[in-house]
Amino acid sequence: MDKGARFKEIGRSEPGYRDVEERVRDYAPVERRFSDEQTVMQASRCLGCGTPFCHGYGCPLTNAIPELTALARAERWREAIDLLHSTNNFPEFTARVCPGLCEASCVLGQGFEPVAIRNIEMAVVEKAYELGLMKPRPPAVRRDGQVAVVGSGPAGLAVADTLNRMGFHVTVFDSARRMGGILRYGIPDFKLEKRVLDRRLSLMEQEGVHFEPGVTIGEDISYRYLQQRFDAICLAGGSRTPRDLAIPGRELKGIHFAMEYLVQQNRKLAGEELEPDEEISAAGKRVIVLGGGDTGSDCLGTAIRQGAAGVCQFEIMPKPPAARTERMPWPSWPNILRESSSHKEGGERRWSVSTLRFLGQDGQVSRLECGEVEWLPGQDGRMAPRELPGTEFEVAADLVLLALGFVGPARNKIVDDLGIEKDKAGNIQVDSLHMTSMPGLFAAGDMARGQSLVVRAIADGRATAKGIGQYLDSKILLHPPSGKPLGTFS
């Protein structure tokens, strides 16, 4: 096998994006894919490090990246996808929405450009689908143990898929009309088209996972119902309480949480009916997005596609540097300036801006009063914003989208009724098995860990599934099913 390490003769390249003029007219995926030849070439840049920081430090899933690149450059696709699946349930999701934590810790980043790991992962999983390697693989044996997973986002699906592969019987409940959680409703199609999600859900269903959409736990069915029918229950509802902005004028019309806006657009593209008075459209409007993260970027790209008259994204944090500084040593994830595909499509970005009040006319927002801030250390040593006198300005706005992150899980009837313990941040508290203060009730993903990345949600879902498996194994050993030998498979 080629030893790789051809980084001196082969520079880093990326597949790139569709032309801006074309892609802003639709919601189809904006990013292109590597050809087989490009995949082999880029995989050949990998050093095959003896101590791969990309694997053990950068990737929350601990993907075996040097081994993966070696298999990709040899075009051994079956072995490559099997290796990916050994650590990552859904490489087709992470290849599209992960920021590439592994690439930030690639050793080649020290003096050269890092390996294009994310795009190689995308090439491997898509090649596996093309070659028919992604066939249903139900477990060879079924074990005693019924598990209910509440929530079908990345954490919930990872719990379900991992437990199903272990042989347990899994049913996934979700209050939405379709499965997928934030993958379906929170991420725009131009980043993650829903056929990618649907083909994986179909595969999981053929492998034995049972899906129950349109069911709200605590309303349609009770926790007692679940308790009577399942040996373990896992809550994976995500972090859904958005951070608000309690300033004068917040009650004006035309101010919405970012996720309201993104969910609605995804529902429209899926053909789901909306009430006429609930539609949020940026068409012909001056749009201000408050928040500089990925969600804010998704709002920007969506508003451009809806035909906004103009879009501006404000961030209260200072503008990041273009490259690492001494405070961001390798291999840590650097807080540097990043430009998403949406930023390349238009709009304006401003940093160190604080919104002071919303101003309106006839109950509708029409302007924002803002001011610039500087960041200084407070008495506790933490950096905090301080308003700069004389920097106040106003900006016109017909639609304001709040993309300020999330403060914790949404209100949950099960959690409230059972008095489940929470941490100081309001997240559900779990033990080493990821079990809550209620025996047999587990929590996974953002609900327990706080708002984070899809890749971390999948990693936590896998870890939670292992904890549930240990719990069920001990439960079966202590209380074997009637008429079955102690500890045997069903």
CATH number where 28 lies: 1.10.1060.10
Q: Which domain holds residue 230?
A: 146-240+407-478
Residues 157 and 257 in one domain: no
The percentage of residues in the chain with a pLDDT greater than 70, rounded to a whole number, is 96
Q: Is residue 471 part of a domain?
A: yes
Domain count, the chain: 3
**pLDDT band per the 50, 70, 90 thresholds, residue 489:** very low
pLDDT in tens, 232-267: 999 999 999 999 999 999 999 999 999 999 999 999
Whether the pLDDT of residue 410 is over 90: the answer is: no
Based on the fold, state whether residues 153 and 126 are members of the same structural domain.
Answer: no
CA distances for 303 relative to 8, 84, 189, 370, angstroms: 42, 35, 13, 22
CB 146 within 8 A of CB 155: no
Q: Examine the fold and report which residue of 103, 130, 157 is the final residue of a domain before the chain moves on.
A: 130
Average pLDDT, the chain: 94
Instruction: Please compute the mean of the pLDDT values over residues 30-42 and round it to a whole number.
Output: 97
The predicted-structure confidence for 64-76, as pLDDT tens digits, reads as follows 999 999 999 999 9
Residue 367 lies in a domain: yes
Q: pLDDT value at position 207? A: 98
Q: What is the pLDDT of residues 91-122, one digit of tens each?
A: 999 999 999 999 999 999 999 999 999 999 99
Question: What's the CATH number where 176 sits?
Answer: 3.50.50.60
In this structure, the answer to whether residues 118 and 156 fall within a common structural domain is: no
Task: Give the CA distances from residue 406 to residues 284, 390, 409, in Å, rounded to whole numbers and listed in that order.
Answer: 29, 31, 8
The per-residue pLDDT for range 210-229, each reduced to its tens digit, is 999 999 998 999 999 999 99
The verdict on 465 and 389 lying in the same domain is no
Q: What is the mean pLDDT of residues 314-341?
A: 96
Which residue, 404, 438, 459, sits at the end of a domain? 404
- Which of the residue ranges 1-10, 16-25, 66-75, 452-461 would you say has the lowest mean pLDDT? 1-10
